[in-house]
């Protein structure tokens, strides 16, 4: 009991409670992600003063505004490019980018693949709700085949992205996928990824109750949680090509797929310049301390 | 605050404007550039890429200009001075984040080595046709500062000036060069670090727990804390209150956006910078900036030799536009000739501020080459001829 009370206090300390109620619809999965993220921060004993959360625009991207840590609500799709600047200019920061599927892989797709390729040391969390929530339920590059969106009124006929596969192919050092149902695994995964050095990626399938579910008559939030529960197969270490989720008839492959070591951008840069420039190289350590 | 010796290449140099600009950025304390190659600006980042590992800082070649223009803002909020460098097509892609920097009050510098447009236009030839874009290019109401150098020496000096303005007013500052200034070689004198005066970031002075991201000082500019200071900052691109919390109302919009505009407008008298030459008795005043101002100077000399009372108002800071100065001169002079390498941009401002009290003519062309002095002289002569009327500018 005391332990839960302590956790509650800590959670509240990490929330801007004076901003509540939040903008999310009831039953939406984004709140679960926020909850899991804060629990993971606490459990991993990450110094919250050194965490910076960069977000683009979308329902998911509103997440930084509710957390009582350094938060950035930037432009649609650009959270990773902004986070790259934060991290390179202050290597002591734990840099996290959180956003929706449209934000990160449609408009932000180019930044995503390059941040992964460069192995920028950041944790990237993508809430995949199979559509554009914030703008009213349009189709996304993740929309499952034959599912409807307001801009795909007869159902989508495009191939959706397999995000773990892209992240893997681009060089991410940590790749996992869970759903809003898998709260325990998700929290542990975030804890683990927070400790990783390099580009870590976690995709979370989530229910957009008001738009994607309603429009497609897939049921209420709870029904989608059941769908996630019943259709998921945990396959840790699976080949990310198996993680395809092209249609609602596919199994949802979840688990930790990639966990490897690769020098991150800064290590590569410092190591290489040290080698070729020798004593002429001045290693950049971080910004000077300010008055505060 | 004095410059850090590590970034200052004190001495006499023979270099072009692009290289000199890079040295100016370094001298100003810029330790982060995110860029994407584009002619005729690339030499700036090429030099920076070579210099920065020996100075201590970061250069990163981003995937495009959209990324370049925001990666620098991440670096700024982490505590560094940062800039990006581009030309027309890249500048167009950066508009999104010029607006972001204006909205989030992120001090940073955008260097635009202008080339002919629209679109891919003239990659290797000069123009001054992005002057309105620099001011109006992103959506919404906001103000920026733009400075225009006319020599490699000034590319150095004004890179420092640009950073000083950015830090003082927490705005994106445009360093509006052009291909000619960028590729022209001249003597550049780089002073010693202790001769270079820098404006320090306006760091928060209150306790971390009391800090509000957007609470302005009396001059309407808020103080900054960086990520990792424990201030729990909230940097918001939506319309926001002093805490950085989004507030989607006309009242919040009025309060915030008016302040963003007024922090420049109310301080404009401290920001304006121009040079005057033979203005006192001038009946025709040539208004010019950047490389064209050097040709305009020659044109004024030629006019004087012909007995025409011509003078030159050379704008160093183009935005904010020196409205009062033009109003004042309009009451005394007969005509303005705006000489610029475009088909009529800053001439619109001159026309606006002259309020019909003096004629306003354009000596402009579509870009690709600097003017010949005779072309400007011709318009000066037209300006004093009794047949030309108020407000006419011919191409
Ligand atoms: C440049 C730009 N284009 C379009 C938009 C409009 N817009 C806002 S959020 C969004 C998509 C949101 O979808 P997603 O990223 O999946 O987030 P979700 O709301 O589903 O969490 C779009 C298109 C914008 N804000 N900026
Ligand atoms: S629109 Fe969808 S994603 Fe957005 S808050 Fe509502 S349920 Fe969640
Ligand atoms: Mg979405």
Q: What is the pLDDT of residues A279-290, one digit of tens each?
A: 999 999 999 876
Using 50, 70 and 90 to split pLDDT, how confident is the model at A291? low
Count CA within 13 A, CB hemisphere, residue B109.
35
Ligand 1 centroid, distance to A132 Cα (angstroms): 6
Q: Would you call B67 and A277 a contact, using CB atoms and an 8 Å cutoff? A: no
Q: Which architecture characterizes domain B274-394 according to CATH?
A: 3-Layer(aba) Sandwich (3.40)
Region A183-204: what's the mean pLDDT? 98
Same topology, domains B11-195 and B274-394? Answer is yes
Structural domain spans, chain A: 27-264
Region B199-228: what's the mean pLDDT? 95
Average pLDDT over chain A reads 97
In a mutational test of the B interface, the residue from A61, A70, A121, A288 whose CB has the highest number of chain B CBs within 10 Å is A70
In a mutational test of the B interface, the residue from A22, A48, A50, A88 whose CB has the highest number of chain B CBs within 10 Å is A88
Using 50, 70 and 90 to split pLDDT, how confident is the model at A5? confident
Nearest ligand atom owner, CA of A208: 2
Asked if A272 reaches chain B (Cβ–Cβ under 8 Å), the answer is no
Asked if B77 reaches chain A (Cβ–Cβ under 8 Å), the answer is yes
Using 50, 70 and 90 to split pLDDT, how confident is the model at B46? very high
How far the first Cα of chain A sits from its last, in Å, is: 37
Record the tokens describing residue B365, joined without a space.
């062309």
State which ligand 1 atom lies nearest to the alpha carbon of A75.
26
Record the tokens describing residue A36, joined without a space.
């899991």
Considering the entire predicted model, what is its pTM? Answer: 0.97
Structural domain spans, chain B: 11-195, 274-394
Strand order in the sheet with A199-205: A232-234, A252-259, A174-179, A199-205, A122-128, A94-100, A51-55, A70-73, B234-236
Q: Would you call B71 and A85 a contact, using CB atoms and an 8 Å cutoff? A: yes
Residue B98: is its pLDDT beyond 50?
yes
Which parts of A109-162 fold into alpha helices (H)? 109-118
Asked if A241 reaches chain B (Cβ–Cβ under 8 Å), the answer is no
Region A65-81: what's the mean pLDDT? 98
Residue B392 has what pLDDT?
47
Residue B386 has what pLDDT?
79
State ipTM: 0.97
Q: Would you call B233 and A70 a contact, using CB atoms and an 8 Å cutoff? A: yes
Using CA atoms, how far residue B219 sits from A290, B145, B168, in Å, is: 22, 16, 10
Q: What is B11-195's CATH superfamily?
A: Thiamin diphosphate (ThDP)-binding fold, Pyr/PP domains (3.40.50.970)
CATH level 3 topology of A27-264? Rossmann fold (3.40.50)
In chain B, DSSP assigns E strands to 11-16, 30-35, 58-61, 81-86, 108-116, 122-126, 145-147, 172-178, 185-190, 234-236, 274-277, 284-289, 310-315, 317-319, 335-340, 359-364
Pocket lining: A132 vs ligand 1, CB cutoff 6 Å: yes
Residue B390: is its pLDDT beyond 50?
no
Residue B395: is its pLDDT beyond 80?
no
Residue A253: is its pLDDT beyond 90?
yes
Nearest ligand atom owner, CA of A130: 3
């Amino acid at each position: 009991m005391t332990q839960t009370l302590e956790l509650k206090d800590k959670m509240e300390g990490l929330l801007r409670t004076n901003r509540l109620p939040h903008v999310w619809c009831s039953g939406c999965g984004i709140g679960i992600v926020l909850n899991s993220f804060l629990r993971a921060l606490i459990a991993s004993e990450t110094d919250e003063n050194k965490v910076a959360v960069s977000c683009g625009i979308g329902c998911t991207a509103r997440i930084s505004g509710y957390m009582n840590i350094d938060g950035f609500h930037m432009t649609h799709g650009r959270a990773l490019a902004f986070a790259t600047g934060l991290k390179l200019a202050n290597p002591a920061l734990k840099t996290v980018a959180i956003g929706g599927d449209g934000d990160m892989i449609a408009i932000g797709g180019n930044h995503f693949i390059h941040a992964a390729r460069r192995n920028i040391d950041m944790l990237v969390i993508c809430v995949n709700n199979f559509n554009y929530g914030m703008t009213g339920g349009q189709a996304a590059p993740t929309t499952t085949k034959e599912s409807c969106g307001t801009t795909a009124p007869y159902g989508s006929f495009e191939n959706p992205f397999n995000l773990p596969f892209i992240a893997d192919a681009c060089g991410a050092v940590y790749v996992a996928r869970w759903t809003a149902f898998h709260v325990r695994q998700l929290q542990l995964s975030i804890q683990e990824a927070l400790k990783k050095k390099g580009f870590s990626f976690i995709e979370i399938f989530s229910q957009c109750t008001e738009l994607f579910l309603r429009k497609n008559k897939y049921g209420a939030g709870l029904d989608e949680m059941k769908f996630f529960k019943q259709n998921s197969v945990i396959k840790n270490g699976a080949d990310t090509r198996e993680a395809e989720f092209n249609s609602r008839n596919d199994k949802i492959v979840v688990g930790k797929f990639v966990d490897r070591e690769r020098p991150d951008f800064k290590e590569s840069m410092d190591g290489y310049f040290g080698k070729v420039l020798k004593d002429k190289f001045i290693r950049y350590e971080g910004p000077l301390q300010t008055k505060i | 605050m004095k410059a850090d010796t590590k970034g200052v290449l004190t001495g006499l140099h023979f270099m072009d404007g692009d290289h000199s600009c890079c040295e100016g950025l370094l001298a100003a304390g810029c330790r982060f550039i995110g860029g994407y190659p584009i002619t005729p600006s690339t030499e700036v980042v090429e030099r920076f890429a070579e210099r920065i590992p020996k100075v201590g800082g970061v250069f990163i070649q981003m995937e495009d200009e959209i990324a370049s223009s925001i990666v620098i803002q991440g670096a700024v909020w982490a505590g560094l001075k940062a800039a990006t460098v581009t030309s027309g097509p890249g500048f167009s892609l950066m508009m999104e984040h010029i607006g972001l920097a204006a909205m989030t009050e992120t001090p940073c510098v955008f260097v635009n080595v202008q080339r002919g447009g629209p679109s891919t236009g003239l990659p290797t030839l000069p123009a001054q046709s992005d002057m309105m874009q620099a001011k109006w290019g992103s959506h919404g109401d906001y103000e920026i500062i733009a400075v225009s150098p006319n020599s490699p020496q000034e590319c150095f000096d004004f890179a420092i000036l640009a950073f000083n303005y950015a830090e003082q007013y927490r705005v994106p500052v445009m360093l509006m060069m052009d291909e000619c200034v960028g590729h022209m070689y001249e003597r550049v004198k780089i002073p010693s670090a202790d001769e270079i005066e820098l404006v320090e970031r306006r760091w928060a002075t209150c306790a971390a727990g009391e800090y509000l991201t957007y609470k302005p000082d009396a001059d309407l500019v808020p103080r900054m804390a960086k990520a990792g200071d424990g201030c729990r900052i909230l940097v918001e691109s939506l319309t926001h209150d002093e805490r950085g919390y989004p507030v989607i109302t006309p009242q919040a919009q009025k309060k915030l956006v008016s302040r963003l505009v007024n922090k420049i407008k109310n301080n404009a008298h401290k920001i304006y910078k121009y040079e005057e030459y033979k203005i006192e008795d001038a009946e025709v005043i040539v208004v010019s900036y950047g490389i064209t101002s050097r040709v305009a100077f020659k044109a004024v000399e030629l006019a004087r030799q012909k007995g025409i009372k011509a003078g030159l108002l050379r704008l160093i800071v183009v935005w904010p536009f020196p409205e009062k100065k033009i109003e004042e001169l309009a009451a005394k002079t007969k005509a303005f000739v705006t000489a610029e390498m475009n088909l009529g941009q800053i001439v619109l401002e001159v026309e606006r501020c002259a309020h019909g009290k003096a004629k306003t003519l354009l000596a402009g062309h579509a870009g690709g080459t600097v003017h010949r002095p005779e072309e400007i002289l011709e318009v000066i002569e037209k300006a004093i001829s009794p047949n030309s009327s108020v407000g006419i500018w011919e191409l």
